[in-house]
Structure 1
Amino acid sequence: MRQADAVGQGPVRYGPVFPDDGLPVLPELAAVLAAAASRTEEQPVGGAPALLEAASGYFERRGLPAEPARVAAAPGAPALLVALTAALGGDVLVPRPCAAWWAPYARLLGRPVFHVGTPAECGGVPDPYALLETVRRVRDEGGDPRLLVLSVADDPTATVPPPEVMHETVEAAAGEGLHLVSDETWRDTLHAPRRTMLLSPAEMLPDRVTVVTDLAGALLPSGWPAAVARFPAGRAGNALHARVLDVLTALGARVAAPVAAAAGHALGEPAPVVARRDTAVGLHARVAAATHAAVTGAGAFARPPQAGRHLYVDLGPLRHALTPQGVGDAQDLEEFLTARLGMPAPGGHRFGDDLGALRVRLSTGPLLGRTDEERAECLMSPVPLELPHVQRALMSLRSTFDDLRDDAQRWEPPR
């Protein structure tokens, strides 16, 4: 057994945490939560009417109309995904890499999970031809693929699939009769919303797509668990919605009353919530761009981040420098960079990627400061990258990667 396993760094309990924004709670949301703190009534499974109305309006404003009867809420997206997986049955397909929390819930239910490679230009969706090949191979071997989980704005790669890629993947999935779960947690965190076209599969295949959004992506702190799902219209969608509610009931998966109040308020998108979201997105976009410049300037590879609070870095080009440091795979790289950077750097194997590939996900939140005061200062500053504590954090990151580049050049064998 590897030392990493012995000290408790397994794939689920000790897996990578959600990329938190690291910022102080919006006072207006804190006030709503505090005002509801004395509520003692149990919330209904799937959400109370006020929360479902707010979620319905949220989806409507994004071109995904849904009456409240087609919406459900739960304490976080993982609860919704485990309920959907249990309700749909069969085998599960996911992109490689994918969000770390997607696969464990299928395995918990005893469902096989099959990872499918992504296109060169993005993550979040499987390559359509690889998807077709995987589905046929699984069926030839006696499997029963029914569910494809994909993302319109991806964790871990921070990319947004181009509409043409999404179209091809959704058409391939539809042709094979798969149900799609579209994780749209990060859809409201586009770094350049006017230049990035985001397409939801639910717009293309309305009768076979369930949309799931964790509010920790853009609206609530990650410690206030709440997520909403939009189900397809029609008899099949109604039946799936009912089965999901049955599973959530069995799990006791209810949104706590104070969190439900804050979630309903945030989903209504009042001006202060929108302003904070936009400011936070812009802040993380700037830090992500600076981080991307640092790692690619040192010779590592990373797709330009387009959404979220993270980016996915391939250090394969720097392997010559990492091998003498005892880094031979993604677990070694995770431990090495976490220690060097002083911040979490989960390896690609946490996201279903190949263990032998030297890939990690870096988050922008830890670069915003170590105290609440420093992080609040980032929100208020028109030039956050010029703040001394942010400059120090980026300089430390840049120095680490530059040292690896210099070492790689020394260790590179002569041609």
Structure 2
Amino acid sequence: MEQRRARGERVLPMGFGEAGLPVHPLLRDELRAASGRNAYGPVAGLPELRAAAAGYWTRRGLRTDAEQVVVAPGSKALLFAMRMACGGDVILPRPSWVSYAAHDELLGSRVWHVDTPPGGGGVPDPERVARTLGLARAAGREIRQVIVTLPDNPTGTIARPEIVESLGRVARENNLTVVSDEIYREVAHPGQSVAFPALFAPERTVVTAGLSKSHALGGWRLGIARFPDSAHGRRLRAHVLGIASEVWSTAAVPVQRAAVLAYEEPQVLVEHVAASARLHARVAEAVAARWAAHGARVTAPQGGFYVYPDLDARRAHLSRKWSVTTGADLADLLLDRHGVVVLPGHVFGEAPEALRLRVATSLLYGTAPDQREAALAAEEPLTLPWIAAALRHLEEALDDVLGTAETE
């Protein structure tokens, strides 16, 4: 992608899951005001931030005490520490975010992929989870954890409540720790509701969240985790704090101070996040429609800024015209011919031959701060020249590579 840019060629960056929006001035001001706070903070996080995070979850129907909360430099650090603290093997949904499996490679543990059922984006099929636990025991392995993502990365969808409830029942019956990655919770699309595992297995569920998606603060690195108010939760939290003490010591204190404001949720920030969710939804829907018009099977996006087209119906066309037989082939073709950057499904745990792609839409909002501000404020962002141009670029690429839905 960078080589194409250096040559002055067009690039459509749809591979990276960054929120693509400006930082709200209130948060910048808060960070600036706290910049002189250079002493180490508590390993678990500033008391005022843990209290603000507890209030955030309590307002959403999940009663939380500050002593249940741990703060870290990004939720990714918390996810890794929890894998280390839990030990054993892990069940991941297929497809799932790339870093989950990478954590287990680093730890030397085993990943058991379980397909998501229809309507279960981000959540592995509960019946198959139960069967996988039996297979693991028969092989002398112990699965201790299952990770879910709500809303989901990479599919941009939300699992149905009955699937989440069923998984919670399996977790309780088998003493599994459920880690619910809710980093996209606040950018669920308007009108969408999400059922979370902590409602159904409260004593077994750890929740992770952060500000990288909702407030576009990916570079600030701030994540939070809520541990269950149970003996299991307290043991796990203590173990994670032991790991944190030796690995990251404390999240950056000025960033924590700004995060206090974010989690206290003044109305102006609530409105800012809601506007972000509306923008993500509008552009993701437009991108999904263009893939569908070219023969892809695409579930309508429900949260975040991802589309996950399946091109299996175009397999014969792609093989005959372009010798494309894998998702990686297809991603390479789009990049080489048109500068369209997407990720193939195999990096999310799919089989190499699966013709599925993760398409991120959030870097279409503009390349300069004023463009991104305009996108956020626009009643109809698709009419903005730079977003309209990006959509035309995508259509041109799909016309060339896929033709129409009827082309064979």
Shorter-chain TM range is over 0.9
Q: CA deviation at 1:18?
A: 5.6
* Structure 1 unpaired stretches of 5+: 1-15
Q: How far apart, in 2, do the equivalents of 1:33 and 1:338 lie? A: 38
Q: CA deviation at 1:199?
A: 1.1
Q: How far apart, in 2, do the equivalents of 1:369 and 1:340 lie? A: 22
User: In the TM superposition, what are the counterparts of 1:312-327 in structure 2 within 5 Å?
Assistant: 312-323=308-319, 324-327=321-324
Q: Deviations over 1:319-366 (max 9, x none)?
A: 233333343212222222234553531111111111110111111112
Tell me the equivalent position of 1:308: 304
Q: How far apart, in 2, do the equivalents of 1:257 and 1:18 lie? A: 27
Which of 283, 294, 318 is the aligned partner of 1:287?
283
- Amino acid of the structure 2 residue aligned with 1:56: A
Aligned partners of 2:98 and 2:348 also within 8 Å? yes
User: In the TM superposition, what are the counterparts of 1:11-410 in structure 2 within 5 Å?
Assistant: 19-193=17-191, 196-323=192-319, 324-340=321-337, 342-406=339-403
Aligned length: 394
Mean Cα deviation higher: 259-268 or 369-378 = 369-378
SS at structure 1 position matched to 2:44:
coil
SS at structure 1 position matched to 2:352:
coil
Aligned partners of 2:89 and 2:144 also within 8 Å? yes
Aligned partners of 1:123 and 1:160 also within 8 Å? yes
Q: CA deviation at 1:406?
A: 2.2
Give the direction of change, closer, same or farther, for the CA distance of 1:105–1:338 in structure 2 (3 Å limit).
Answer: same
Q: CA deviation at 1:122?
A: 3.0
Q: Deviations over 1:3-39 (max 9, x none)?
A: xxxxxxxxxxxxx976112112111111111111222
SS at structure 1 position matched to 2:273:
helix
SS at structure 2 position matched to 1:101:
helix
Give the direction of change, closer, same or farther, for the CA distance of 1:344–1:256 in structure 2 (3 Å limit).
Answer: farther
Q: How far apart, in 1, do the equivalents of 2:336 and 2:28 lie? A: 34
Aligned partners of 2:122 and 2:159 also within 8 Å? yes
Give the direction of change, closer, same or farther, for the CA distance of 1:254–1:340 in structure 2 (3 Å limit).
Answer: farther
Aligned partners of 1:84 and 1:244 also within 8 Å? yes
- Amino acid of the structure 2 residue aligned with 1:367: L
Q: CA deviation at 1:215?
A: 1.8
Q: CA deviation at 1:184?
A: 0.9
Aligned partners of 1:343 and 1:366 also within 8 Å? no
Q: How far apart, in 2, do the equivalents of 1:95 and 1:351 lie? A: 9
SS at structure 1 position matched to 2:220:
coil
Mean Cα deviation higher: 336-345 or 355-364 = 336-345
- Amino acid of the structure 2 residue aligned with 1:280: S
Q: How far apart, in 1, do the equivalents of 2:263 and 2:294 lie? A: 41
Aligned partners of 2:15 and 2:343 also within 8 Å? no
* Structure 2 unpaired stretches of 5+: 1-13
Q: Deviations over 1:44-70 (max 9, x none)?
A: 212110111111111111111111111
- What percent identity do the matched residue pairs reach? 37
SS at structure 2 position matched to 1:299:
coil
Q: CA deviation at 1:92?
A: 0.6
Q: How far apart, in 1, do the equivalents of 2:17 and 2:225 lie? A: 21
Mean Cα deviation higher: 88-97 or 395-404 = 395-404
What RMSD, in angstroms, separates the aligned Cα atoms of the two structures?
Answer: 1.8
SS at structure 2 position matched to 1:313:
coil
Higher RCO (C-alpha under 8 Å, 6+ residues apart): 2
